[in-house]
Structure formats: structure tokens, C-alpha cells
Amino acid sequence: MEVFLPIAQVFVNPIEILLLSAIVGILSGLFGVGGGFLMTPFLIFLGVPPAYAVANEANNILATSVSGSTTHYLKNTLDYKMGFMIVIGGTIGTSLGILTFTYFKDLGKIDTVISLAYMYILAIIGTLMLVESLREIDRAKRNIIIKKKLHVHYWIHGLPLRMRFPKSKLYESIFTPILIGLLVGFIAAIMGIGGAFILVPAMIYIIKMPTRLVPGTSLFVTIFVSVIVTFLHSFNYGSIDLLLVAMLVVGSIIGVQIGQKLGEKIDSSGLRALLAILLLVVGIAIAYETFFAEQPLVEMSSVSNSDLNFFSKFIQEFSNDMPFFYGLFSIMFAILLGIGAAFIRRFFSNLKKKILLKS
């Protein structure tokens, strides 16, 4: 069974999309990192053009980030002041990223740029994760405890204009979170990822935020970055396909919930090594597809307007006639799905607690 995507103009198997997005969601929930750097390549492998894969995965990340951020809001584990400083940098970085995206798109090289970016990023992240996870496994076997330095200073800590962040109990230059946000926003605009794999370690090791505030604040920042990326891609290129987004969001949110539950019960050190190997394999696959595989002539599927169902016609006409409002609708659609998922999870969590108390 295949479904036609009216904006991307390709046929996809919805079962494959749902399963892959759920698997990536499980990995995200299990390891606390965004799944964009896996899901976007998977979409490309399934036949979705790279420019569309980037934009729609950014919209999917928006929904999952809203869901996770709402959960942390209810737990009061967010540093809004720090988050807004990072968002300022993220806004600048996203704008620069979109300009870069537009430049290479006009040259007709954007698909190659996206493939190369994923190839290098996955190779670097996968290698670093594999080395670190193997070290952890070795230390655990040998019962070695490493004492980490309490204070490690980098050049970024010497920047001026310091500000107090009461929630995190920090006195930090405003340029530190802004520069980190700039890098995250730039990468998100080009690659359609949330940037958590950069943001989370930067918040822990460079900004030195309390660990309990990091996941919620990271998701809070990702919401704003994803909103900007989604809107600009939708308005400039008309590349958001709500049919694809709906499938991605449903699979991802279910997967994230399962992953978070699994993460509470199992030791992820060994699994982290497997995730690192998976990233390396995907990176190698992208490199093979880009440089060695015979490139077939890509043809957009031709489906006449009369053959489209009501929902597909609505999406296509809405996107073509009112790109500004279509972009806003895409954002609200993802936000509402994310908030709904968070409250449904809270409802079932409270229900479970009541049942346990009664028993």
C-alpha cells in the first residue's frame, strides 16, 4: 500500500514511515538525543527528495520537542532565561542557514550538500560515541572511577557582558549561549535536525548548567529553532507536506514514549555503542549513494489533480495559494499534536499511579 505525497510529489509506504519514525523515536527517548540525523537520511533512502526530507523532519522535530518540553514544564525543569539567550543565537544561525540553503538550491547542488553534511556529521558523531561508549564499557568491567575536574575554562568563558541566570545558578557571558545557539540554528536550517547532539553537551560542559535542567531547556530551544526552520522552508520553498508530517509525528511520539520507559529500566552503555555503529553505517550508506552508486534519473510522480483525494487537494491548494498561512498552519498542527501527546502521557501516568495506590 502506497500513499501519494501531494507536496513532495512522490509515493511512499506509510507503514515504512510509521515504523522507521517509531524506531528513531525509541532511540531518541532511550539516549536523550534527537532523531533528526537518522530520520532525514531514512526519508531520503525511501525516495523523498532531500530538500523535502529536511523540511518535513524539522516540522516533526517541532512536534516531538513541544511534547517533551511540555512534560518538563509540568515538572518545572526549564531555565527560560538561558533558553531565550540560546534562541537569540539560534534565530541568527537559522537565518544564515536558510540563506546558505537558498544559495546551493539555486545552484542545483542542495541535494549533494545535504548528503555531504550528513555523511560528515554522522561519521564524526558515530566515531566519538563509539569511542566513548567502548571506554565506558571497559571502565565498568575494570571497576575504574574517573575523577573529573570541577572547573575547566575555555576561551568562551572569558567573553564580556555577564548575566545572572538564577534558575541554573550561573553567572555567564550572554555571548556564550548566543554563539552556541547560532551554530545549532545554522545546522538545523540546512540539515533539518534539532541540534540536541551539539546543544546538550555544550550546555553541560561549556555553559555548565545543572543536568536536570538540560533536557527541558534543550527541547525549549529546539521548539523555537524548528518553528523558524519550518516556516522559512514552507514559505520560501513550499516543501512542507502535512500528510508526511502526520505520519512522522505519530510514529515519533509513540517511539519516544517507549524509549523513555526503556531508558528507565536498562543500562544503555552497550546500546550506545550499537547506536554509534548504526550512525556510522548510515553515514557510509549516504557516502556510497552520493559517490559510488549509479544515480537514477529522478522523476516526480505525475498524478492529476482529479485523482487526488480531498485531503491531498486541500494540502496542495493551501500550500500554493497561501504559503504564509500554510506555514503557520504547519507550525500550529505540530504544536497541537505535541501538546496533546504530552497531556495524554500525563493522564495515563496519573491513572497508573492511582491504580497502584488503590492496589
C-alpha angle 295-48-129 in degrees, rounded to nearest 5: 90
How far apart are the C-alpha atoms of 140 and 202, rounded to whole Å?
A: 25
- Which residues, other chains included, contact 119 with Cβ-Cβ below 8 Å and sequence gap of 6+? 283, 286, 287, 290
Q: Residues 108-126: pLDDT tens digits?
A: 888 888 888 888 887 887 7
pLDDT digits (tens, 9 = 90+) for 345-356: 778 878 888 888
Burial class (CB in 10 A: 0-12, 13-18, 19+), 183: middle
Q: Please tell me the total count of domains within the chain.
A: 1
Q: Which three cell numbers stand for residue 280?
A: 556510522
Average pLDDT over residues 83-97: 90
Amino acid in the structure at residue 339: I
Neighbour count for residue 355 (Cβ, 10 Å): 9
By three-state DSSP, how is residue 5 classified?
A: strand
The answer, yes or no, to whether residue 22 has pLDDT greater than 50, is yes
* Euclidean distance between CA atoms 275 and 176, whole angstroms: 30
In the DSSP assignment, the letter for residue 202 is I
**Phi, psi dihedral angles at 45 (to 5 degrees):** -65, -30
pLDDT of residue 298 exceeding 50: no
- Could you read off the pLDDT of 234-292 as tens digits, one per residue? 888 888 898 898 899 888 888 877 776 776 666 555 566 776 787 788 778 877 777 76
- Given a contact cutoff of 8 angstroms between Cβ atoms, the answer to whether 90 and 184 are in contact is yes
- Structural domain boundaries enclosing 203: 3-358
Q: Is the pLDDT of residue 162 over 60?
A: yes
- Mean pLDDT over 49-73 rounds to 81
pLDDT band at 96 (very low <50, low <70, confident <90, very high): very high
Q: What's the pLDDT at 297?
A: 47
Q: Could you give phi then psi for residue 3, rounded to 5 degrees?
A: -120, 140
Cell numbers linked to 191 = 540539515
Spatial distance between the Cα atoms of 55 and 334, rounded to a whole number of angstroms: 13
Query: Quick one: pLDDT at residue 294?
Result: 60
The pTM of this model reads 0.74
Measured between alpha carbons, how far is residue 208 from residues 75, 152, 158 in Å? 21, 10, 14
- Hey, is 162 helix, strand or coil? strand
Question: Grid coordinates standing for 244?
Answer: 508526511
SS3 state at 9:
coil
pLDDT reading at 303 higher than 70: no
Query: Residue 92 has what pLDDT?
Result: 92
